[in-house]
Amino acid sequence: MPTTLLQSNLPGLNLIHRGKVRDVYALPAHELLIVASDRLSAFDVVLPDPIPGKGEMLCQMSNFWFAQTAHLLANHLTGKSVAAVLPAGIDANLYTRRSVVAKRLKPVPVEAIARGYLIGSGWKDYQASGALCGIRLPAGLRQAEQLPQPIFTPSTKAAAGAHDENIGFDKVVATVGGDLAEQVRDATLKIYTFAAEYARTRGIIIADTKFEFGTDESGRLHVMDEMLTPDSSRFWPVADYRVGISPPSYDKQFVRDYLETLDWNKTAPGPALPRGVIDGTAAKYAEALKKLAGIELT
């Protein structure tokens, strides 16, 4: 059965970062142990209730996509055994399906977002200005409509508790330099296009997704952290897709929709989730994992 882990505890390993979802530990040989917890963040706030098995599902989904896209871009996986690096006395069953041993990379300090459909903050920006991240879009587009072609819409990489903000490509260039900015943009659109075409064959639309990139000691670009998961993407069932509405989804939009019904100012602390929302979210993640990767965690 899937395990539940709100926060990792690995005595003897150096915890160097505890993010919204992932805990990162330093390992020898310029490597990291990355643990995907069952924490859930929404509107950039970590909620108090775990989603049982979520970290395992995220990790297995990411590993599937890393393998599928390795021909497009290098990734952070080393292929080394998680059990072999865990401290003595730790239950390996709690960590092996939710963790990876990864290369230690220098993060590119932007959120690399690909959008194929007009939804979320992109829809709000378009309504206000007719543009998104400085990209002028055709007039008359409706909510959830497919864009003429996928676009790269980066955002800032906010600290925990802060909100990401959409930025233009010129800001990315100013932050990381023109060559790296172009590499990130091209990789984002190439991977998104490949994944979206594959997902369609499995009955899922990938409306948008967010990638994390890093460079190794030689400056080579890698995709890292997580990839094309329900946490970092909007997954819509093809059969239920309609233009003009926010379609049902296999991702944490299910939680966002619930939170939008509350009198909450979207700042920490986040509200507790009812059991029905917790169980419903876990079921949606599991269904996405099965449909896209053919994986069932039992």
Average confidence (pLDDT) over 55-83: 98
For the chain, the maximum distance between any two Cα atoms, rounded to a whole number of angstroms, is 61
In terms of domains, do 165 and 251 share one?
Answer: yes
Residue 213 lies in a domain: yes
Please give the tally of structural domains in the chain.
Answer: 2
Average confidence (pLDDT) over 20-31: 96
Residue 272 lies in a domain: no
pLDDT in tens, 92-101: 999 999 999 9
Which band of pLDDT confidence, cut at 50, 70 and 90, is reported for residue 206? very high
Per-residue confidence (pLDDT) for residue 160, from 0 to 100: 53
How far is C-alpha 212 from the chain's CA centre?
8
Specify the DSSP element, H or E, that contains 136.
strand 135-136
pLDDT for 249 beyond 90: no
Three-state secondary-structure class, residue 177: coil
First-residue to last-residue Cα distance in the chain: 5
Gap between the Cα atoms of 37 and 51, Å rounded = 9
In terms of domains, do 182 and 201 share one?
Answer: yes
Mean pLDDT, rounded, of the chain? 94
In terms of domains, do 117 and 255 share one?
Answer: yes
Residue predicted with more confidence, 29 or 157: 29
Burial label, 29 (beta-carbon count in 10 A; 0-12, 13-18, 19+):
exposed
Residue carrying structure tokens 């594959």 = 198
pLDDT in tens, 40-49: 998 889 999 9
Q: What is the secondary structure of 182-210 as a DSSP string?
A: HHHHHHHHHHHHHHHHHHHHTTEEEEEEE
Reported in sequence order, the residue ranges of 73-111 that DSSP labels E, i.e. its strands, are 99-103, 106-107
In terms of domains, do 216 and 203 share one?
Answer: yes
Which domain CATH number covers 38? Answer: 3.30.200.20
pLDDT in tens, 270-296: 999 999 999 999 999 999 999 999 999
Closest CA to 255 of 237, 238, 230, 236: 230
Helices and strands (H, E) in the chain, number of each type: 7, 14
pLDDT for 161 beyond 60: no
pLDDT in tens, 107-129: 999 999 999 999 988 999 999 99
Domain that holds residue 149: 107-264
Gap between the Cα atoms of 78 and 206, Å rounded = 27
Per-residue confidence (pLDDT) for residue 298, from 0 to 100: 79
Per-residue confidence (pLDDT) for residue 10, from 0 to 100: 98
Which domain CATH number covers 238? Answer: 3.30.470.20
Percentage of the chain surpassing pLDDT 90? 85
Residue 168 lies in a domain: yes
Residue 34 lies in a domain: yes
Going by their DSSP bridges, the two strands 221-224 and 131-132 should be labelled as unpaired
Which band of pLDDT confidence, cut at 50, 70 and 90, is reported for residue 162? low
Residue environment code for 210-249, b if the CB has 16+ CB neighbours within 10 A, otherwise e: bbbbbbeeeeebbbbbbbbbbbbbbbbbeeebeeeebbbb
In terms of domains, do 131 and 241 share one?
Answer: yes
Per-residue confidence (pLDDT) for residue 251, from 0 to 100: 75
Per-residue confidence (pLDDT) for residue 238, from 0 to 100: 96
In terms of domains, do 112 and 100 share one?
Answer: no
Gap between the Cα atoms of 277 and 113, Å rounded = 27
Per-residue confidence (pLDDT) for residue 189, from 0 to 100: 98
pLDDT for 80 beyond 60: yes
pLDDT for 244 beyond 90: yes
Instruction: Report pTM.
Output: 0.93
In terms of domains, do 132 and 207 share one?
Answer: yes
Strand order in the sheet with 22-27: 14-18, 22-27, 31-36, 99-103
In terms of domains, do 48 and 132 share one?
Answer: no
